[in-house]
Amino acid sequence: MQRALSCPLEEDLRPLIRFLRSRGVVHRVAEENGMQVLWVVDEQTADIVRSLHQRDLSDMTREPDRGIVETPTSAYWRQSYRLIPVTLLVLLVTAVVAALTGLGSNLDNVVLLTYTPLEASGYLAPQPDMAQWWRLVTPIFIHFGFMHLAFNALWYWELGRRIEMRSGGLWLLGLTLLIGVISNTAQWWWSGTSGLFGGLSGVLYGLLGYCWLYQLIAPNAHFALPKGVVIMMLAWLALCMSGLVSLLGFGAIANAAHVSGLLVGCLFGSIAGALQRRL
């Protein structure tokens, strides 16, 4: 079981509990050390319960539509659609781009999203075209191969929903776009003005750095990543920078995007954590 809430005994949790029961969410409430503690089955459900607890509980007492039996899984996803729309939107756009580009094999569509446009000569332009400003962001949606897509999508789901549940969709969207622009620009500059690169990994390292530094400065349940995650990701970054991953046949690695994304995320995580700590 996973601890979702710890509240004073005098706080009335009955509306929330009725809502959880009506949606078939497995939970348990116990008294521990003079507090009432609400337990659920896993951390994902706990995240949703914490977010629901912060909302107006008046609409939670309504009964579900008659004739509709809702399982805990369907209840979880229905609430997810409402609580993490930006996370799901970014993943949807990434999936659509993966389909349209054939996971990087359809070059006619890939060049529509590259950092620099295609020239009449058939080569990518050496400089970005500010009239096509969206290209500063769109390389984050290009992926080359299923494993590249799956790895990045799973990590964006894990990190994006944490930030969105804690700070809201607009904040996550802003971080994603800002880190995307900076990491793409850094990779274009570092790779010798080559515009052919892509992937969400620069953004992922930025979101990782944001959660990591924020959690160090102002601990909270949403950014408490599993032990070893930060170490594993930093070790992978070091391995990629060593050149060994490319030598093993995994293709070119956008190390500049990774490093710049991580640094930007750490910077904003430090600022946000410091501001939260002063409240």
Other beta carbons less than 10 A from residue 128's beta carbon: 19
Active-site pick, 167, 201, 222, 260 = 201
User: Quick check: is 258 catalytic?
Assistant: yes
27 in catalytic set:
no
Task: Please tell me which residue in 27, 143, 222, 258 is annotated as part of the active site.
Answer: 258
Bridge partner residues of 39 (DSSP): 3, 28
Separation between Cα atoms, residue 21 and residue 225, nearest integer Å: 28
- Residue for token digits 């400003």? 133
The structure tokens 């990518």 sit at 124
Dihedral over Cα of 207, 209, 210, 214: its sign: positive
Those residues whose C-beta lies under 8 Å from the C-beta of residue 227, and which sit 6 or more positions away, are: none
Helix (H, G, I), strand (E, B) or coil at 276: helix
Nearest to 202 by CA among 155, 258, 252: 258
Q: What is the CA radius of gyration of the chain?
A: 22
Q: Which residue has the tokens 């959660």?
A: 211
- Lookup result for tokens 């894990």: 158
- Known catalytic residues? 201, 258
